[in-house]
Amino acid sequence: MTNAPVLSFTENGIYCASGDFYIDPWHPVDRALITHGHSDHARWGMQRYLATHIALPVMRHRLGDITADGIAYGEERQIGDAKVSFHPAGHVPGSAQVRVEVNGEVWVASGDYKVVDDGLSDPFTPVKCHSFITESTFGLPVFNWADQNIIASEINAWWAACAANGKTAFLGAYALGKAQRLLTMLDPSIGPILTHTAIENTNRILRDQGIGLPDTILANADLDPKSYPGAIVLAPPAALGSAWSKGFGSQETAFASGWMAIRGVRRRRVGDRGFVLSDHADWGGLMSAIRETEAENIYVTHGYTDVFSRYLNDRGWTAQVVPTQFEGESLDKDGTE
């Protein structure tokens, strides 16, 4: 039995010495286990990738020609002296928590996660472990998400009002995850649903995998913007206010993010509306996830790490902050998801 910890935090990322692999590393390494396809977790340049079967197609699309192996949720695999398995994280389709067991000691690296069922991703499954690596993007008690149905009705009411006023509704969303979740929340009886090329590329990949999405119309350069009155357009944030979007004439813009819970942030974005919707766990979600792991040691990677770990320590856990390059939910126009 070695004394090395099951997972350690290195310059390249989260490392397992017993299996000689990394989880979501940020520099090129030999073997990388990837929790999900967002660009701050699935980076370019690894010799070998391992991710869930559902996550792989998007990763191949984004990273090009990679050597990658797929794994099913719950399937166990031996890598060196470590036994690994992937479990649903509920963040985006195919996202996983990685469970690593060495000599009976279990660690779970959760990547990004949310505990509510978005109707699209496999719902988050708590995994019992001794040490749990968690994000804390929204790790403050001011973040409490309303039910998805309430947000859906807010978005649809806004869209319907735009349509009634002869305006095109522009909804900003990241290409993987948030965009598809929003698609399933829209009421197609209000009007046509148009998508930006970047979003439609991801849609196509997910549809090919058999993930059910409502019908959409690709809004590329060939499309006459004026021929779809009352439409909603889903576009990456960077495309809002671009020459392409201006072609649609009179319009309102909205943005869906957990950050919209804070009035100041909502107002800074200058868009017309902000909807509070996130693919990350809210305060209650983080706390319930941590409790259900029954872990004693908590490693907090990104978000409000200092405050969140202090609270965990107050409440009897052994928590510490570990520096990472994960970014959580960003509002940057050119940022990751």
Partner 1 sequence: MKRFAKLFTTIDQSTKTNTKVAALAEYFEHAPDHDRVWTIALFSGRRPKRAVTTTKLREWAAEQAGIPLWLFEESYSIVGDLAETIALVLPVTMTHDDQPLSAWITALREIYTQPEDARKEFVLKAWATLGGTERFIFNKLITGGFRVGVSQKLMTRALARATDKPEAELAHRLMGNWHPDTITWHQLVEAQDASVDASRPYPFYLAYGLESSPEDLGDLAQWRAEWKWDRIRGQLILRDGQYFVWSRGEELMTSRFPELARTVDFIPDGTVLDGELLVWPHGQPTPASFNALQARIGRKTVPKKLLADAPVVLHAYDLLEWQGEDIRSRPFSERRSLLEELSAVVPADAPLRISPQLEFHSWGELAELRTSAREAQAEGLMLKRVDSPYLAGRKKGDWWKWKLDPLTIDAVMIYAQSGSGRRANLFTDFTFAVWDGNDLIPFTKAYSGLTDVEFRKITAWVRKNTLERFGPVRKVTPHHVFEIAFEGIQRSTRHKSGVALRFPRMLRWRQDKPIQEANSLADLEDMLRIYG
Residues near partner 1 (CB under 8 A) are: 140-144, 146, 259, 261-265, 267-268, 270, 272-273, 304, 306-307, 311, 314, 321, 323, 325, 327, 331-333, 335
Decide whether 217 or 331 has the Cβ nearer to partner 1: 331
Minimum distance, C-beta of residue 111 to partner 1, in the bound complex (Å): 17
Decide whether 134 or 203 has the Cβ nearer to partner 1: 134
Decide whether 68 or 140 has the Cβ nearer to partner 1: 140
Q: Enter the tokens of residue 201.
A: 């590329």
Decide whether 146 or 164 has the Cβ nearer to partner 1: 146
Minimum distance, C-beta of residue 102 to partner 1, in the bound complex (Å): 30
DSSP string, 253-299: EEEE-GGGGSHHHHHHT-SSEEE---SS--HHHHHHHHHHHT-SEEE
Between the alpha carbon of residue 46 and those of residues 22, 25, 297, the distances in Å are 10, 9, 29
Decide whether 79 or 321 has the Cβ nearer to partner 1: 321
Minimum distance, C-beta of residue 11 to partner 1, in the bound complex (Å): 12
Residues 6+ apart with CB under 8 A from 254: 155, 158, 169, 170, 171, 172, 271, 272, 273, 274, 275
Minimum distance, C-beta of residue 144 to partner 1, in the bound complex (Å): 6
- Asked whether 321 and 154 are in contact (CB, 8 A), the reply is no
Rounded to the nearest angstrom, the gap between the alpha carbon of residue 135 and the centroid of all alpha carbons in its chain is 12
Strand 131-136 and strand 82-88: the pairing is: unpaired
Minimum distance, C-beta of residue 173 to partner 1, in the bound complex (Å): 18
d(CA 323, CA 146): 30
Q: Which amino acid is it at 327?
A: E
- Asked whether 5 and 23 are in contact (CB, 8 A), the reply is no
Decide whether 104 or 264 has the Cβ nearer to partner 1: 264
Minimum distance, C-beta of residue 42 to partner 1, in the bound complex (Å): 18
Decide whether 31 or 41 has the Cβ nearer to partner 1: 41
Minimum distance, C-beta of residue 152 to partner 1, in the bound complex (Å): 16
